[in-house]
């Protein structure tokens, strides 16, 4: 009996994880729905957890 239709590929999942990590994000979990939609749920980014010397977060500087 066949396994069934493969909705997503492992390479798609790995690409999403690696891209998130390269962006400096800390991955809390990864969700894949029945349609093959991959959702990467991130926690606090590595840069935000450290903060800047002047007390601003990295996203604060990006907004200014």
Residue 58 lies in a domain: no
Domain containing residue 22: 7-47
Q: What is the pTM of this model?
A: 0.57
Convert the pLDDT of each residue in 5-64 to its tens digit.
Answer: 778 899 999 999 999 999 999 999 999 998 889 999 998 655 555 555 555 555 555 555
Within-domain flag for 54: no
Is residue 56 in some structural domain?
A: no
In a domain, 2, yes or no: no
Count of the separate structural domains present in the chain: 1
3-state SS track over 2-44:
CCCCCCCCHHHHHHHHHHHHHCCCCEEEEEECCCCCEEEEECC
According to the model, what pLDDT value does residue 41 have? 93
Residue 42 lies in a domain: yes
């Amino acid at each position: 009996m066949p396994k069934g239709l493969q909705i997503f590929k492992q390479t798609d999942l790995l690409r999403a994880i690696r891209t998130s990590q390269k962006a400096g994000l800390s991955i809390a979990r990864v969700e894949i729905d029945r349609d093959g939609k991959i959702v990467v749920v991130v926690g606090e980014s590595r840069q935000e957890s450290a903060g800047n010397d002047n007390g601003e977060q990295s996203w604060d500087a990006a907004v200014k």
